[in-house]
Structures are given as C-alpha cells and as structure tokens.
Amino acid sequence: MADESWWFRFPQMNEDSLRALERAFDDGYADFSGAYGAGIENFFNPLLQFLIWFDDLFTGAPWWLIIALLAGFAWFASRSWKLVAGVTAAFLAIGYFGMWQHAMSTMSMITVCTVLAVLIGLPVGVLMARSDRAQAIITPVLDVMQTMPSFVYLIPIVMLLGIGRVPGLIAVVVYAIPPVIRLTNLGIRLVDREVLEAADSFGANYWQRLFGVQIPLALPNILAGINQTIMMALAMVVIASMIGVQGLGQPVLRAVTNQYFALGLFNGLAIVALAIAFDRMTQAYGRRLQRYRQIAND
Amino acid sequence: MAAACSATGRLPMTDAVKIAVRNLYKIFGPHPARYLDLVRQGVGKQELMAKYDHVLALNDINLDVPANRIFVVMGLSGSGKSVLVRHFNRIVEPTDGRVEIDGRDVMALDENELRALRRTRISMVFQRVALMPHRTALENVAYGLSIRGLPQHEARSHAADWMRRVDMSGYEDYFPAQLSGGMQQRIGIARALATEAEILLMDEPFSALDPLIRTEMQDMLLRLQAELKRTVVFITHDLDEALRLGERIAILRDGEIVQHGDPQSIVIAPSNDFVGEFVKDIDRGKVITVGSIMSPPNGARPKAKLADTTLLEDALVTFAEDGARAARVVNAAGKGVGYVELADVVQAMKAPVAA
C-alpha cells in the first residue's frame, strides 16, 4: 500500500531537494549581499547621517520647545483647546515618567519614515490612479507588503545591511507605505468626473489637472492614508527595535526578554499616547481641510 | 412662411457659419471602427446594440451652427445631444467625420492647439455645474483665466466683474456647497463667460433647477446674450426652453437629426410624428408670429395693422380690441408685406399640422 500513501500524505517534493533549494536561495542571497552589501550601505550612508542628525535634533532640543511646537501644531490642525490640552498632558507625562529621550527618538524616526513614505507613496498612488495596468501590477505587491509577517522581511534587510537605523527605516517604510499608496489611488479615482471634464474643457494640462483638481479633491483620502501610515509606522517601530532602531521599542524589547512588566507597560503606554496624539491631530487636520464641503446654515 | 430648413441642417446663405459638423459618427464600444461601415449601410441603433453590443450615439450628423446666435440642440435623454456638443471642443473624439470651427477642422488640431482652443475660444457650462468644490466662487469664476496663466490679481478682478454681471456680487468668498443650485449655475455661467470665448456650450444648464429659477436663469441668459452676442450651443430636453431661447433648433433622436430649423417652422410643420408629438402641447400662440402664417398682400386694405413679428396671442388681442376680422401685416420698416385674417390666426393656434 505504500504506493498509495500520496492519497493521505501530500506528495511533497523530496526533503533533500527542498533543503538544497533553500540553501541555493540563501547562498545566492548571501553572495549577493557579500558582493554588493558594502556598496548598498555606502549608498545609504547620507540617509544614515540624516537620521542621526534628525535624532539629535529631537533628543537635543529643549523639552519645553518640543511640547510648545506640538501644542501649536495641535491648535493649527484642530482649533480645539481640548486636543491641545490632551497632547500637552500626554507629553508631560511621557517626560515625567522618564521616557522623554526614547519618545523623541521614536518621534524622529516616525517623522522621517512618514515623510519618506509620502514622498514615495504619493507618486506611486498617482501612477496607479492614472493607469489600470499599473494598478493591476502594484495592488498584489501591496498585498504582499501588508500581509507578509514583518519578521520575514527583516531577515534579508539585516543580511544585506546589518543591524542599525537604515535597515530599520527601510523595514518600517516597507511595512507602512501601502495605506498612502492605496488611499491616494482611491482618492484620485473618486474625484467627480464632471469636475475633471470641466477642468479639461477649460484647457487644463496634465499638471494643472493633477495639482489643481485631483490631488486637492483627493486630499481627505490621502490624509487618511497618511494617518494610517503613521499608525503602522508606530507599530513597526517596536518590531524594528529588534534590529537596532532607537526609541521606545528598545525598553519594550528589554521588558519582554526580562519580564519587566512595569517597564513594558509604561513604554507601551507611551507608544499608545504618541499614536493617539498623532492620530487625532492628523484626523482633525483632515476634517478642517474638508470645511468647504459643509453647507453653511448661517 | 419663414425659411424651414431641411433635415440635413444646412443654413440659408445669409448666416455666417461658426461651427460646421460634417458626416459625424460616434459609436461607443470596444471596437467602434469595425462597425462604422455597417452603420453607413443602414444598420440602426437598436440592431447595433442587440447584435454587436455597440452603442450608436451619433449617426451621420450634418449641422451648421450660426455665429452669434443661440442654437438649441433638443432631444430626450440618450438621444446623443450631450455627446454631440462634446465633439465641438473634442472632449469626445468622433468615430468618423469632421467638426469645423470657422472652417478649421477641430479633429486636425494637435494637443497644444486643442488646449489653446479650449482656453480661449470655447467654454462650457455643465448640467451638474461641476464647480471645483475646494475653490471659492470667485476662484471658480477665475478658473479658466488662471489656467491660461493670467496673473492672479488680474484674473480675480476680471472674475469679480463677471460675478457682478450674473448678479452674484457679495458671494465671492462662498464655497459652492454654500450656494443654492441656481446660484451655483450662475457661477458656472460666469466661469464660462469669463474666458471671453466666442463659443459657449451649455449642456442642460437649467434642467436641474426648479421652474421659477429656471425662467429667471433663461431671462438672464437672454439678457447677457443680447449684449454679448456669443455663439451659444444650448442643450435641453425641454421644448418650452428650446422655443424660448433658440433662434435655431435641431431636434435629435437616437443619434440622428430629425428636424432642424427656426422655432416656428418646427411648431408649424413638424417633420414627423416624433416631433409632432413633442410640439402637440405647445402653446402655439406664444411661438408663432403673424409673419409666418400671413398670406401675400392681396390688394385688400383692412384698417387694422400688425407687425410681422407679432405673436398670434397678441394678434388676437389686437383683433378683439379693434373689432377687426382682418389685418395688414407690415415689416419693421412699416412696409406692407402681407395679409392675415382672424380665422387664419385661430386656425394656426389650434391645429397642429401633420407633415
């Protein structure tokens, strides 16, 4: 009956061949990273310098200045004293409980990641909205990026670039970029066709259409995407601390490995506070951008 | 009788032609060119849809749009009227045929020439207004000018001037969502007029408005047109509106022109049952003038006198007041051009004449 065992056991490929295949894959990639790793690292060196400089800027700035800037941004975004008070209180608490430096590192990292994600994601989203073929190709790539367990793509990045800020940055951006791309695409596709036709009928060229009509009208959606990207970047920063990213993830990682419950909880809550603060600020800003849609009842 | 044009839509020689449409075909579907010959051989809209799953939107359209007049394209929804005017500024590309503006083939323009045409010579008003929701009323009116690259302050002062002319001064900083439908369409019209384009395409601009506002808007358009004398192509599905605004009317059905002429000729002599059905309920006394039903001068010299542009309705009033039964018809110069009897007027007002 041994011949019919395939009926119950999946007729998988030969164990040795499988191992050989995996080894070939690993060796190939190891050769690649051995040959080009240094070059790629050099390529990213300016980025690393920028990250370090930006980190120093945040951690070195006086705490009251940072809080004042954040409160100012909260006011600008929402015109709500409640939000300003909440943001101020959250950051005062983070400082008071001794997590200021880590929180600033995380904030600098999030800022760079978000800016990078928007700089890359926005044009990609525009491209997707413009061509159905681009959409058909990019969508599955985004699906992979979002569902692949993040630990899995940490491996090749670390193999290639080692441990540090740049590989961490790449990992975070890869993980966090899909929402900006998706919502830029969606937002532009949802722009009223008649309004676009009007722009065409007045002789708008491609860029006047894009920057004068499509992006402004898609902005609420794009902002929702940026909001999601920030949230995902915050989540990923903890995981990326495993490969040497500075910030609140470091103490969390230490707490996990040493079973320091309080340390983990405090730093975890600090991440939550950051997330909520940034979420509320970007959402409030998004709503303020849409004021023109509301019908005035005065 | 006033000149009734044939269904081919050529104009009498007296009018300058602004837009000439020649043998225009538009087929929607994945392979329009493949079915063009079938359509030319006489395959109709229904058959093309049923057998080949393609939509015949325009079928051999020939049309002359006179300069400086309001030209109405009338038809029910799906008749192809919106598609037709979108060929004039090439928002829609034809499957075959030509559209000439001042003798120049629009289809032969390259990208830059086409953009220049849209920026300076043709502008458009939309049924759903299609204002930019994120721009204020003033910025919307200035849109065409800013697209053209006019300096900001110039565009704005020009736009403010046009807002005044559509009676919207004071609403400069409102967003479209804060304005009523009628007000939005005033902004839409100001936006189209502000580019000073010679040709104004209006795609059912008043159809979404309630009747009172609609009449108000029609009055405004007529007032502006009396002064501006643009070439207006006005689309509507409403015959009353067509008769009120149109100096010439083309009636479109299933992508074909079924009748074309001045308003009176359409009311007096509908070319087929379809048009007849349309004009059946029209208040003919408000459309037909004495000039189009009079008989030639016959030597009789009744006391009563009517201008040839008098509407039948008003002629009845004159007859009643003077107690006359017949009248001499005179033209604008006061020269006698015809003769009309009370009975003719009554007859013309009641009986639709089937062609």
**Domain limits of chain A?**
44-289
- Residues B280, B139 share a domain: yes
Q: Does some domain include residue B198?
A: yes
Task: Check residue B8 and give its pLDDT.
Answer: 43
Distance, in Å, from the CA atom of A5 to the CA atom of A69, rounded to the nearest integer, reads: 69
- Cβ of A203 and B116 within 8 Å? yes
Least confident stretch, A64-78, A101-115, B239-253, B302-316: B302-316
pLDDT reading at B299 higher than 80: no
Nearest CB partner across the interface for B177, out of A194, A195, A292: A292
Q: Would residue B253 count as lying in a domain?
A: yes
Structure tokens at A38: 């240094």
Helix axes A45-60, A165-176, angle to 10 degrees: 90
B229 and B261 together in one domain:
yes
The parent domain of residue B345 ranges over 286-350
Helix (H, G, I), strand (E, B) or coil at A93: helix
Would you call A200 an interface residue with chain B, using a CB distance cutoff of 8 Å? yes
- Chain B contacts to A (CB-CB under 8 A): 89, 91, 115-120, 122-124, 126, 128, 130-134, 143-144, 147-148, 174-178, 191, 195, 201
Contacts of A204 in chain B (CB under 8 A): 147
Q: Is the Cβ of A192 closer than 8 Å to some Cβ of chain B?
A: yes
Residues B165 and B297 in one domain: no
Q: Which CATH architecture has domain A44-289?
A: Orthogonal Bundle (1.10)
Tokens of B193: 């007029």
- Please report the sign of the dihedral spanned by the C-alpha atoms of residue A13, residue A16, residue A18, residue A21: negative
Contact: A202, B89; criterion CB under 8 Å: no
- Residues B230 and B322 occupy one common structural domain: no
pLDDT at B7: 41
Q: What is the mean pLDDT of chain A?
A: 90
Averaged pLDDT, B89-110: 92
pLDDT band at A295 (very low <50, low <70, confident <90, very high): low
Query: Which residues of A are less than 8 Å from B144 in CB distance?
Result: 202-203
Is B118–A205 a contact, with Cβ atoms under 8 angstroms apart? no
Identify whether residues B338 and B317 lie together within a single domain: yes
B80 domain-assigned: yes
Q: How buried is A214 (Cβ within 10 angstroms: 0-12 exposed, 13-18 middle, 19+ buried)?
A: buried
Classify B168 as helix, strand or coil. Answer: coil
Cross-chain residue pair A203–B126, CB shorter than 8 Å: no
Give the end of a domain, one of B257, B284, B311.
B284
Same-domain status, B265 and B343: no
CA A96, CA A90: separation in Å to the nearest integer?
Answer: 10
CA nearest to B292, candidates B261, B319, B317: B261
Measured CA to CA in angstroms, residue B123 lies from B108, B139, B159, B188, B198 at distances of: 19, 16, 15, 10, 8
Q: Count chain A–chain B contacts defined by CB atoms under 8 A.
A: 70
Is B147 domain-assigned?
A: yes
Task: Pick the last residue of a domain from B284, B310, B331.
Answer: B284
Q: Taking CB atoms and an 8 Å limit, are A205 and B115 in contact across chains?
A: yes
Q: Name the β-bridge partners of B232.
A: B70, B200
Burial of B204 from C-beta contacts in 10 A (0-12 / 13-18 / 19+): buried
Under 8 Å between Cβ of B307 and B290: yes
Q: CB distance A202–B119 less than 8 Å?
A: yes
**Tens digits of per-residue pLDDT, A251-272?**
998 998 999 999 999 999 999 9
The partner residue sitting opposite A198, judged by closest CB among B116, B126, B134, is B126
Distance, first Cα to last Cα, chain B: 15
Q: Are residues B267 and B329 in the same domain?
A: no
**pLDDT band for position B265 (cuts 50, 70, 90):** confident
Between CA B114 and CA B119 the distance in angstroms is 9
B131 and A195 within 8 Å at the Cβ level: the answer is yes
For the cut 80, the answer to whether the pLDDT of residue A297 exceeds it is no
Q: How confident is the model at residue B192 (pLDDT cuts 50, 70, 90)?
A: very high
pLDDT of residue B161: 94
Nearest-CA distance from B188 to chain A in Å?
10
Say how many domains are in chain B.
2
Say how many C-beta atoms besides its own lie within 10 A of residue A293's C-beta. 14
B330: confidence class by pLDDT, cuts 50, 70, 90: confident
Task: Return the closest-CA partner of residue B236 out of B228, B244, B225.
Answer: B244
- CATH number, domain containing residue B75: 3.40.50.300
Q: Do A295 and B177 touch (CB under 8 A)?
A: yes
Q: What is the mean pLDDT of residues B291-296?
A: 84
CA separation for the pair B274, A141 (Å, rounded)? 56
Pair of tokens at residue B24:
């225009």
Reported as half-sphere exposure (CB side, CA atoms, 13 A), residue A149 has a value of 3
Q: How many CB atoms lie within 10 A of CB A234?
A: 26
Q: Which of A124-133, A136-145, B59-68, B266-275 has the lowest mean pLDDT?
A: B266-275
* Res A185 pLDDT > 50: yes
In chain A, residues with a C-beta closer than 8 Å to the C-beta of B115 are 203, 205
Residues B189 and B290 in one domain: no
Both B255 and B301 in one domain: the answer is: no
Find the CB nearest B91 among A201, A212, A213.
Answer: A201
Would you state the pLDDT for residue B215?
93
Q: Exposure of B14 by Cβ count < 10 A (0-12 exposed, 13-18 middle, 19+ buried)? A: exposed
Contacts of B177 in chain A (CB under 8 A): 292-296
- Report the pLDDT value the prediction gives residue B13, as an integer from 0 to 100: 47
Residue B54, in any domain of the structure: no
Same domain, B294 and B277: no
Secondary structure class of B240 (helix, strand, coil) = helix
How far is Cα A154 from Cα A150, in angstroms, rounded to an integer?
Answer: 6
In whole angstroms, what is the distance from residue A105 CA to residue A94 CA?
13
The percentage of residues in chain A with a pLDDT greater than 70, rounded to a whole number, is 97
Among B64, B53, B59, CA closest to B11 = B64
Specify if B28 maps to a domain.
Answer: no
Residue B352's pLDDT is what? 58
Q: Is the pLDDT of residue A294 over 80?
A: no
Q: pLDDT band for position B232 (50/70/90)?
A: very high
Q: Which of B284, B317, B333 represents a domain boundary (last residue)? A: B284
Shared domain for B118 and B242, answered yes or no, is: yes
CA distance B6 to chain A (A): 32
Return the CATH number at B335.
Answer: 3.10.580.10
Q: Is A164 on the interface with B (CB under 8 A)?
A: no
Q: Is the pLDDT of residue A291 over 80?
A: no
* Claim to verify: residue B176 and residue B318 sit in the same structural domain: no
- Dist CA B191 CA A242 (whole Å): 58
Per-residue burial over B320-353, b if 16 or more Cβ lie within 10 Å, else e, is eeeebebbbbbeeeeeebbbbbbebbeebbeebe
CA-only gyration radius of chain A, Å: 23
pLDDT at A3: 61
